[in-house]
């Protein structure tokens, strides 16, 4: 990874992007809900489409609240990454985010890791 390319904090959601040649890690902290998903969607589109970084890891370990709009954004991003012949994974340890993902069955749909190290180990080395 080359370093942080973006960092934004609106008081509800903090988002930073660490980008490499064909991959990126988006780190989130705060609430991922109907009010903040537009920022995540925009960052994902910028990385996947505009920058061509088709291997994406979204780190949710700092997320304290996740609603259905956040879940939908993650599923759409995975579909988009796969459509571009890339990969998509999320990171979330024990807690409310993993509980929501488990209850909705998304742990069987999304590639979920408990650590960032495990998720980034799967990224292509370029």
- Could you state, in chain order, the average pLDDT of each consecutive group of 10 residues for the chain (126 residues)? 55 91 94 94 94 96 95 97 96 93 95 94 78
- Provide the pLDDT for residue 2: 52
Domain 7-121 fold is Transcription Regulator spoIIAA (3.30.750)
Q: Which pLDDT score, from 0 to 100, does residue 59 have?
A: 98
Number of other CB atoms surrounding residue 103 within 10 Å: 9
Confidence (pLDDT) at 93: 87
What SS3 string covers the chain? Answer: CCCEEEEEECCCEEEEEEECCCEEEEEEEEEECCCCHHHHHHHHHHHHHHCCCCEEEEEEEEEEEECHHHHHHHHHHHHHHHHCCCEEEEECCCCHHHHHHHHCCHHHCCEEECCHHHHHHCCCCC
User: Strand 55-66 to strand 23-32: parallel, antiparallel, or no bridges (unpaired)?
Assistant: parallel
């Amino acid at each position: 990874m080359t370093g942080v390319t973006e960092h934004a904090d609106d008081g509800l959601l903090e988002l930073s992007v660490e980008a490499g040649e064909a991959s990126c890690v988006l780190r989130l902290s705060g609430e991922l809900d109907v009010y903040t998903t537009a920022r995540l969607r925009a960052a994902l589109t910028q990385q996947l489409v505009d920058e061509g970084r088709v291997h994406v890891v979204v780190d949710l370990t700092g997320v304290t609240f996740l609603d259905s709009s956040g879940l939908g954004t993650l599923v759409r991003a995975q579909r988009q990454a796969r459509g571009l012949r890339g990969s998509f994974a999320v990171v979330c340890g024990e807690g409310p985010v993993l509980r929501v993902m488990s209850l909705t069955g998304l742990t069987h749909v999304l590639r979920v890791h408990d650590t960032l190290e495990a998720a980034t180990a799967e990224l292509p080395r370029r």
